[in-house]
């Protein structure tokens, strides 16, 4: 729209959903996003999908990055997406999933509305550039 | 931000949408262009509330009382914050 739009800081919520207790990856992403100049909120461990939805809606984030290493992505991600839709927040939130996601599940997540799935070993610049290129316009 | 988008945001906020409220708070906090217009348009919708103050010694039960009052008012169909 106008020039000031480009200078807007991108707000991200880095979220850990479910019982999976490993957040080293989420921490690394959170720091990389911070270093890239984004505003970052980290949810902390063991959040319910509903809590993540509330945080994403209330914090008015542009990007929601969900880190899942437990294999429960097919249960948890749809719940988060449904919740975002309920609050009319899905259309202008970039939803990313990171962690251990088998290739055969990736397609399903993308169809659900996840913008991209990042697996182990993804270069940090790739994730940051993806967010910069795809963060929703407001 | 253009006027049409502003109007939409204000309308959504008045309709009670959480996302719109969050968006407005971000805009005001960051003093994004047009935030004054939004505030002035919302201002006309304020001022009808009764404000109740609660004071007391630490541990006296202020928060407990306020929680109960809010729940009670809501039960009677009066929105409270």
| Domain spans in chain A, listed from the N-terminal domain onward | 3-134
Q: Listing from the earlier edge strand, what are the strands of the sheet with A39-42?
A: A39-42, A11-16, A63-68, A94-99, A116-118
Q: Which segment of A24-28, A111-115, B64-68, B73-77 scores lowest on mean pLDDT?
A: B73-77
Q: Which of A1, A8, A88 minimises the CB distance to B19?
A: A88
pLDDT at position B38 is 92
Long-range contacts of B7-15 (CB under 8 A, 24+ apart): B9/B38, B10/B38, B10/B41, B10/B42, B13/B42, B14/B42, B14/B45
- Does ipTM surpass 0.90 in this model? no
Smallest CA–CA distance, residue B72 to chain A, in Å, is 24
pLDDT at position A1 is 46
pLDDT at position B1 is 60
Q: Is B33 on the interface with A (CB under 8 A)?
A: yes
In tens, the pLDDT along A116-125 reads 999 999 999 9
Q: Is B72 on the interface with A (CB under 8 A)?
A: no
For tokens 């991600």, the residue is A77
How far apart are the C-alpha atoms of A126 and A116, rounded to whole Å? 11
B32 CB neighbours in chain A (<8 A) are 4, 8
**Chain A, chain B: beta-carbon pairs less than 8 Å apart:** 28
pLDDT tier at A7, thresholds 50, 70, 90: low
CATH superfamily of this structure's domain A3-134: Cobalamin-binding domain (3.40.50.280)
Comparing CA positions, the residue from A78, A137, A136 lying closest to residue A66 is A78
Please give the average per-residue pLDDT across A55-65, as a whole number: 96
Q: Is B23 on the interface with A (CB under 8 A)?
A: yes
Instruction: Judge whether A4 and A31 are in contact, CB under 8 Å.
Output: no
In tens, the pLDDT along A25-55 reads 999 999 999 999 999 999 999 999 999 999 9
A9 CB neighbours in chain B (<8 A) are 30
Instruction: Judge whether B22 and A57 are in contact, CB under 8 Å.
Output: yes
Q: Is B63 on the interface with A (CB under 8 A)?
A: no
Parallel, antiparallel or unpaired: strands A63-68 and A116-118: unpaired
SS3 A68: strand
Q: Is A63 left (phi over 0), alpha (psi -120 to 50) or beta?
A: beta
- DSSP assigned state of A40: E
Tell me which H or E stretch contains B37.
Answer: helix B35-43
């Amino acid at each position: 729209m106008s020039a000031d739009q480009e200078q807007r800081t991108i707000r991200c919520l880095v979220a850990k959903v479910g019982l999976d207790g490993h957040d080293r990856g989420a921490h690394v992403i959170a720091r990389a996003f911070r270093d890239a100049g984004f505003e970052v909120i980290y949810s902390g461990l063991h959040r319910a999908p509903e809590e993540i939805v509330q945080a994403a809606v209330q914090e008015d984030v542009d990007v929601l990055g969900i880190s899942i290493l437990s294999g429960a992505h097919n249960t948890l991600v749809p719940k988060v997406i449904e919740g975002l839709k309920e609050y009319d927040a899905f259309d202008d939130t970039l939803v990313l999933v990171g962690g251990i996601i088998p290739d055969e599940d990736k397609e399903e997540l993308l169809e659900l509305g996840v913008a991209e799935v990042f697996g182990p070993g993804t270069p940090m610049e790739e994730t940051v550039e993806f967010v910069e290129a795809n963060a929703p316009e407001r | 931000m253009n006027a049409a988008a502003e109007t939409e945001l204000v309308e959504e906020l008045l309709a009670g949408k959480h996302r719109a409220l969050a968006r407005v708070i971000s805009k005001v906090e960051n003093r994004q262009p047009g935030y004054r217009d939004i505030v002035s348009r919302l201002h006309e919708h304020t001022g009808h509330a009764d404000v109740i103050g609660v004071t007391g010694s630490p541990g006296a039960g202020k928060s407990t009382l306020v929680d109960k009052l809010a729940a009670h008012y809501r039960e009677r169909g009066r929105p409270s914050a």
